[in-house]
Structure 1
Amino acid sequence: MAVLAAVKASQLMVAFLGFAAGVVITKLMGNAAGGMGQRAAARAPSLPEALGLLGDAGGADAAASENPEPVAEDLQAQVTLLSAKLSAAWGAAPFPWDIPNEFLADLSGFKGRDPWLQQGQAELLAKGLCLDIGPKHRPLLDPKHPNARFLDHGTREEIQSKYWPGNSSEDAKMRAMVPFINYVWDPSKSYLDLVGDSRFQLVYASMVVEHVPDLVTFLNDVASILVAGGEFRLAVPDKRYSLDFRRRMSTFADVMGAHYDKCAANPVSAAYDELTLVPPKYEDPKVLWAGYPQDCDPVQYHDAAMQDIRDSLRISNGKLAMKAGLHHWQFIPGSFVDIVARLRELTPFTVAQGSVVETQPNTTEFLITLVKQ
């Protein structure tokens, strides 16, 4: 009996390894074939469904009844056989981040990024406080409204002098657009600590979420300062149509790893990734929407990238001084929605998915609403 149990256990392990190998291989093939996010019609099998394809891994008769080919006795051959079988199942799978129709925003009256983000804002400001995180010189709230609040990484004066220190009329114009900053971000404090007893009907974060080292803590921080039913509206760069187009997609595993590893700063890997894979040109999204920019090969700017790394990554007292404005995360609309769904399944996450505006032609951002429950 002990020998039989051991054989069954080894066969189950082989089945799982075959499943894992098939997933890895076909995911890589699928990503390459998927291009810019084209979707197929079929649905990818779940892990239980995929394992169900194997039948009883401990019984050759059951497996043989499902397949005309015999089950290999040799363990390595069985791994190969199961991997091929699962690869075939996953090879017909769709791009795995389709957004459920219930979340897709009605774009019949869509007039652009800011109007969509600002819809219903007047009513929410009339009900209570609203917050804009990281407004810089493009606040989404009216700075003159008594219920408008702003949070950024520095005071108004610090932001003005950092980005527009010159004497030109253009610099003066930009400085004047920076709102008064009510709350200055402090990495040692939570948002609850920063805002005190204030709670908000609406929170904006435009081009912010990709910079935060710990996405889970950031989203929970925002949820903690929203009233019940309050909205969190985000504008997020789509990696396919931004300078991150060469960088790999951030996964749920990346998100959870950063959270549980207590990631308080961008890792060296992200800095290296950005410095070597983000091209110094093609800032116009129309170039990427028109097709792959063939003349933008990393080899062409390798030497410059290496010098940037030497300049940007300095070791001082055991700490790394990172490139400012580093993008920690790379998303597309569906991958972000998927991460939110998984967070709700596996963590005490208090925001629900709201409407989604997928990236519009010749633009770089998608728009997301999350709702505090």
Structure 2
Amino acid sequence: MNKGPKWACRLAEATDFVRNEFFVEDKTKENPMTRSEQITQFINKTQLGLEIAPWHSPITPKKDGWNCLSVDIFDTDILRTRSQNDENLDPKLVENIEPVDIVGSASELETLISARGQMGQFDYIISSHNFEHLPNPIKFLQACGKVLKVGGMLSMAIPDRRGTFDYFRPVSQMADWLRAYHQNQQQPDPYQIFAHHAVNARYQGNIVFPQNIDPRGALANTKLRAHYAALQQQENQWKDDYADVHCSVFVPASFYLLMIELQYLGLSPLGVIQITPTGGAEFFVHLKNIGVQLQIDEEKFHQLRNTLMHAVIDEVASNSAYSFSLRQALAHEQAKKT
């Protein structure tokens, strides 16, 4: 019998269901993989790819033999200047910045690649801690479906709210994404900016922290009035300046849920291949460009959706203050019996 936490059992159950019903391939290696290996496990260096905003930490750098184009909102010179002026950045990392091949926002990926005449020519797209910043995720996913070949991969590293400054924020819902999509949102709106800052958390001054420590040490910032004042000011002029914030917030199960709902609604051509459990403060997702609208069994879809909804609740609760206290009490009782 599986004695793991209920949330892990439910997510494993959902994964097995998708593997059986939605043509999921499982190529996970038995041996532990590095972070880079996790993200690149479904691609190889001979294929043509795109990496979104790699900055100073490219996952598929040309210098290592990858046939990959870099996409960034800044050109190479600006990236290097910004990095050199960043006091918190190790100067050695500036050397890792590779030439930017395509200058522009990932939100406009379809326009950028169409202008180059390369639609449908890419084997993969890599993104690390970029997707959550996109104001219109559905638009980006649809663009990926047009930029990638059929069978092409979108592989991403995504932060888990439970171990980051998003700790106090609720996970993103389909309604959030649909509103941004139907309004053709081009940049974060004042309310997304407010949500990012108003409960931005620190744990002993850190923006990333382990999930197994006492979460009562996580503290929200104390500038609520200031952020509300900024919201009121931005309501009338927010389109003038772009704010870099987390527009979406996830745990693995909530991301999984959004992906299968989009596929069910016919809003994304990308199918789930693999979503890993969280390691540190991030998890990895691998989506395949199926290229067609699947005929999804209604009963099986709603069974999976319900399973994932419960998994979301379980994951979110897994490192709450109450759960931590329960684990401490259980450990104390077990210690008394030994």
- Normalising by the residue count of structure 1, what TM-score does the alignment of the two structures yield? 0.65
Q: CA shift at 1:314, angstroms?
A: 5.0
Q: Is the 8 A contact 2:191 2:231 kept in 1?
A: no
Indicate yes or no: 2:148 matched with 1:148. no
Q: Which letter maps to 2:59?
A: L
CA deviations 1:122-169 (Å, max 9, x no partner) are: xx332x311111101110112233722110111111111123226999
The equivalent of 2:209 in structure 1 is 285
Q: Matches of 1:253 and 1:167 in 2, distance apart?
A: 39
Q: CA shift at 1:272, angstroms?
A: 1.1
Q: Matches of 2:230 and 2:82 in 1, distance apart?
A: 19
Q: Is the 8 A contact 2:269 2:289 kept in 1?
A: yes
Q: Matches of 1:195 and 1:218 in 2, distance apart?
A: 17
Q: Matches of 1:260 and 1:169 in 2, distance apart?
A: 38
The equivalent of 2:117 in structure 1 is 196
Q: Is the 8 A contact 2:128 2:157 kept in 1?
A: yes
Indicate yes or no: 2:158 matched with 1:236. yes
Q: Matches of 2:149 and 2:217 in 1, distance apart?
A: 49
Shift of the 105–244 alpha-carbon distance from structure 1 to 2, 3 Å rule, reads: farther
Shift of the 320–112 alpha-carbon distance from structure 1 to 2, 3 Å rule, reads: same
Q: CA shift at 1:257, angstroms?
A: 1.7
Instruction: Please give the secondary structure, in 1, of the residue aligned with 2:74.
Output: coil
Structure 1 unaligned residues grouped into runs of 5+: 1-36, 42-93
The equivalent of 1:164 in structure 2 is 84
Larger-Rg structure? 1
CA deviations 1:194-227 (Å, max 9, x no partner) are: 5422621111011011000111000111121111
Instruction: Please give the secondary structure, in 2, of the residue aligned with 1:138.
Output: coil
- Of 109-118 and 134-143, more deviation after overlay is shown by 109-118
The equivalent of 2:293 in structure 1 is none
Instruction: Point out which structure has higher relative CO (alpha carbons under 8 A, 6+ apart).
Output: 2
Q: How does 1:43-192 map to 2 (within 5 A)?
A: 99-101=14-16, 102=19, 106=28, 108-119=30-41, 121=43, 124-126=44-46, 128-144=47-63, 145=65, 147-165=67-85, 170-171=90-91, 173-186=92-105, 190-192=111-113
Shift of the 166–243 alpha-carbon distance from structure 1 to 2, 3 Å rule, reads: closer
- Of 190-199 and 333-342, more deviation after overlay is shown by 190-199
Q: Matches of 2:134 and 2:88 in 1, distance apart?
A: 32
Q: CA shift at 1:342, angstroms?
A: 1.0
Q: Matches of 1:308 and 1:285 in 2, distance apart?
A: 24
- Normalising by the residue count of structure 2, what TM-score does the alignment of the two structures yield? 0.71
The equivalent of 2:182 in structure 1 is 260
Which of 270, 277, 296 is matched with 1:351 structurally? Answer: 270
Q: Is the 8 A contact 1:192 1:221 kept in 2?
A: no
Q: CA shift at 1:316, angstroms?
A: 9.4
Which of 246, 256, 268 is matched with 1:327 structurally? Answer: 246
Shift of the 166–252 alpha-carbon distance from structure 1 to 2, 3 Å rule, reads: closer
The equivalent of 2:327 in structure 1 is none
Q: Which letter maps to 2:152?
A: G
Q: Which letter maps to 2:71?
A: L
Shift of the 250–160 alpha-carbon distance from structure 1 to 2, 3 Å rule, reads: same
Pairwise CA RMSD: 3.1
The equivalent of 1:370 in structure 2 is 287
The equivalent of 1:46 in structure 2 is none
Q: How does 1:22-37 map to 2 (within 5 A)?
A: none
Q: Matches of 1:168 and 1:116 in 2, distance apart?
A: 27
Instruction: Please give the secondary structure, in 1, of the residue aligned with 2:70.
Output: strand
Q: Is the 8 A contact 1:143 1:180 kept in 2?
A: no
Q: Matches of 1:195 and 1:151 in 2, distance apart?
A: 13
Instruction: Please give the secondary structure, in 2, of the residue aligned with 1:125.
Output: coil
Q: CA shift at 1:117, angstroms?
A: 1.1
Instruction: Please give the secondary structure, in 2, of the residue aligned with 1:99.
Output: helix
Q: Which letter maps to 2:45?
A: L
Q: Matches of 2:88 and 2:113 in 1, distance apart?
A: 39
Instruction: Please give the secondary structure, in 1, of the residue aligned with 2:246.
Output: coil
Q: Is the 8 A contact 1:110 1:116 kept in 2?
A: no
Q: Matches of 2:55 and 2:270 in 1, distance apart?
A: 26
- Of 309-318 and 110-119, more deviation after overlay is shown by 309-318
Which of 139, 142, 148 is matched with 1:226 structurally? Answer: 148
